[in-house]
């Protein structure tokens, strides 16, 4: 299961793919992390799906990550007498707190927090942005609006509020229950939807308490405004381009994607690019040329992972979608321009011993043409620092902690192996050389770079760099 690429692939499981046979085929085709979307999964399905992933993991002998994506606050209008109405541009339409079915002039909005938070002039986008309203009068339990762009509006369509900061956290009552169930089933990552403020991340971290990585989904304009504060607090983040493209002008999303990937590199946080990457493969066995270019751009920019949503969850060609994404990524990483582009986006290391060692390790490995960089990591931070440098040499992460190994399956360029902690420096060198040899990264006579924290097993204390020769027996000498 040695991958021929550095970027990781995150595949969403659903009706088309959550059986054990398909999960194994997806993993063999290139999926490194599996996403379970709690918008559509029950607690029973969550538990059974995780069990299936773990059985596949044991069968393949290769760590697989599990990401549980919380639904977040879903804001929707109520129902209509005839099931739908046609809104006309320029007309007045009211969203109110009356529970009766709606009509041509009004509809129930079962979210008092929206009615209280919206100000005159704020936009309300309905049905994924197809309909735009602008608030003209607020008060008395209702929002009176002018229809800017009309269209057909049917029962329980979604409401987006790009101009309004809602006075509610990103974690709903349902999310809290789903989060506890995800932790109970040893999820590796928790994705938090509709993050608006840093406090949303703090609320989740208090519950998670280090048992899983916390991923912030960036899909609200309010999150963009406080992006760096949010990124500092989360363990990773996702560029959720679907909702981001509804609440912000579409033409701004590509630039934001570039900016966010570079911020991720600066702070050493894994970043996932998501939504509509191979959308046409939901119903077609091949993607469009534009989709291939979209995937390629994310890989060229140095994203840690690229994600499939409905393509693998409910599409007709889930295996082909993963295989296609894998082929595109491999082709990009073998392109003559790839290394130049990746290096041009590098940022200066932080003024810490751990970051300085990681930066030096990349330079030494490339200058001396070493076979691989081997990192001993307890918490995963040493491997993430190594990946932040985007070295041209493979990164082999060794850890005694199974949770760490699985969590690192999301991180760029990291090949993970679970092994016992080294008991001495000599044992550390031997173990690194043997595993690099066994995993196919080094041959006898090759040299590898080894980074670790001394004393051994100290989390987050990378302070040592060794260069070792792989001997004929696979062991090492330095």
Which of the residues are catalytic? Answer: 35, 76, 217, 275
Note whether 415 and 383 are within 8 A (CB): no
CB-CB neighbours of 73 under 10 Å: 18
DSSP at 422: P
Please give the Cα distance from 261 to 268 (Å, whole number): 10
Residue 349 Cα distances to 188, 267, 389, 397, 460, angstroms: 27, 9, 9, 20, 15
The tokens describing 321, both together, are: 């979608």
Measure the CA dihedral 167/147/240/214, to 10°: 10
Residues 6 or more apart whose CB falls under 8 angstroms from that of 210 comprise none
Gap between the Cα atoms of 135 and 118, Å rounded:
8
Let me know: does 106 contact 87? Beta carbons within 8 Å.
no
Q: Helix axis angle, 253-267 relative to 289-300, nearest 10°? A: 30
C-alpha span between 109 and 136 (Å, rounded): 16
Q: List helix spans (H) across 77-197.
A: 112-117, 173-184
Continuous H helices in 71-124: 112-117
Which tokens sit at 133?
């309203």
What is the C-alpha to C-alpha distance for residues 145 and 161, in angstroms, rounded to an integer?
Answer: 13
Q: What is the dihedral of CA 433, 434, 435, 439, to 10 degrees?
A: 100
Residues 399, 460: Cα–Cα separation, whole Å: 13
Tokens 């994203």 identify what position?
303
């Amino acid at each position: 299961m040695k991958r021929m690429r550095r970027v990781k692939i995150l595949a969403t499981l659903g009706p088309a793919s959550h059986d054990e046979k398909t999960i194994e085929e997806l993993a063999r085709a290139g999926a490194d992390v599996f996403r379970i979307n709690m918008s559509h999964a029950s607690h029973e399905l969550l538990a059974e799906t995780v069990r299936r992933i773990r059985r596949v993991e044991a069968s393949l002998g290769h760590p697989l990550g599990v990401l549980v994506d919380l639904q977040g606050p879903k804001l929707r209008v109520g129902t209509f007498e005839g099931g739908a109405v046609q809104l006309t541009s320029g007309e007045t339409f009211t969203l109110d707190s009356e529970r009766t079915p709606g009509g041509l002039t009004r509809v129930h909005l079962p979210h008092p927090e929206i009615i209280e938070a919206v100000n005159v002039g704020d936009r309300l986008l309905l049905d994924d942005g197809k309909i735009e309203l602008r608030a003209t009068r607020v008060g008395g339990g209702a929002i009176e609006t002018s229809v800017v762009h009309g269209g057909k509006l049917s029962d329980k369509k979604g409401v987006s509020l790009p101009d309004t900061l809602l006075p509610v956290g990103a974690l709903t009552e349902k999310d809290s229950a789903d989060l506890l169930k995800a932790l109970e089933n040893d999820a590796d990552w928790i994705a938090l939807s509709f993050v608006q403020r840093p406090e949303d991340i703090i609320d989740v971290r208090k519950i998670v308490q280090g048992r899983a990585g916390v991923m912030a989904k960036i899909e609200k304009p309010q999150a963009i405004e406080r992006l760096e504060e949010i990124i500092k607090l989360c363990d990773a983040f996702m560029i959720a381009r679907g909702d981001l493209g509804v609440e912000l002008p579409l033409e701004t999303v590509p630039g934001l994607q570039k900016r966010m990937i570079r911020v991720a590199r600066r702070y050493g946080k894994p970043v996932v690019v998501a939504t509509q990457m191979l959308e046409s493969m939901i119903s077609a066995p091949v993607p469009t040329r534009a989709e291939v270019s979209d995937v390629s751009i994310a890989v060229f920019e140095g994203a840690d992972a690229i994600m499939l949503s409905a393509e693998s969850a409910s599409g007709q060609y889930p295996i082909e979608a993963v295989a296609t994404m894998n082929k595109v990524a491999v082709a990009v990483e073998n392109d003559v321009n790839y290394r130049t582009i990746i290096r041009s986006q590098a940022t200066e290391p932080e003024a810490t011993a751990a970051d300085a060692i990681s930066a030096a390790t990349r330079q030494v490995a490339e200058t001396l043409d070493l076979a691989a960089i081997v990192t001993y990591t307890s918490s995963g931070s040493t491997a993430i620092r190594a990946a932040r440098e985007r070295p041209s040499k493979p990164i082999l992460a060794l850890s005694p902690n199974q949770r760490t190994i699985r969590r690192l399956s999301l991180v760029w360029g990291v090949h993970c192996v679970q092994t016992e902690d080294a008991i001495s420096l000599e044992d550390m060198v031997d173990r690194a050389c043997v595993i690099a040899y066994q995993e196919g990264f080094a041959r006898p006579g090759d040299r590898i770079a080894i980074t670790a924290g001394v004393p051994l097993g100290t989390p987050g204390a990378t302070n040592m760099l060794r260069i070792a020769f792989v001997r004929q027996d696979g062991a090492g000498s330095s």
